[in-house]
Amino acid sequence: MRALTLWPEWAYAICYLGKDIENRGWPPPPNLSRFCIHAGKNIGGTGREIESDVGIMLQIASDAGYRWDGKAMRDFTYREYLSLVDRVVADIRAMSSALVCAVRLDGVLPKRPQNMDGWHAPDSYGWKLADVKRFDPIPCKGMQGLWTVPDDLAEKVRVSCAS
């Protein structure tokens, strides 16, 4: 079983906000089908300006069509926005440094020079994700690129996905 480590806010977006494209500078290997998403340790990769990094992710989710009780980000008051960011930061911290879901690769969008298109960023291959199976976080250390999940953790993922 393979896994891909992401900054944890983007793993959260896949699990909870309908993020169905993962942007990479490289195409997936031809034999990749189902793989795990690992939420990395630090929001934004560095742990600096956490609220700002999460706010950017939430705005991209809104621009891609996600709604919170029917509301886009532009409809939030400043107080509602801060409350949402605080809740999401807490949820992200609870899932960091762990395997959080399994996904199926459902195709690849080519690199393109334009602006964002939903979740697809410019100058990136858009890995189309489908059949997201969330599970309780399984703590483990991640790695860059695609990596092989240790057998004991892969078994925990299989059991979690089966239930």
For 61-105, the pLDDT digits (tens) are: 999 999 999 999 999 999 999 999 999 999 999 999 999 999 999
Residue 47: per-residue pLDDT? 59
pLDDT exceeds 80 at position 163: no
The pLDDT of residue 116:
82
Give pLDDT tens digits for 97-107. 999 999 999 99
Q: H/E element holding 38?
A: strand 34-39
Report the C-alpha gap between 117 and 60 in whole angstroms.
10
Q: Per-residue pLDDT for 46 more than 70?
A: no
Q: Could you report the per-residue pLDDT of 127-155, keeping only the tens digit for each?
A: 999 999 999 999 999 999 899 999 999 99
What's the Rg (C-alpha) of the chain? 16
Measure CA 163 to chain center.
22
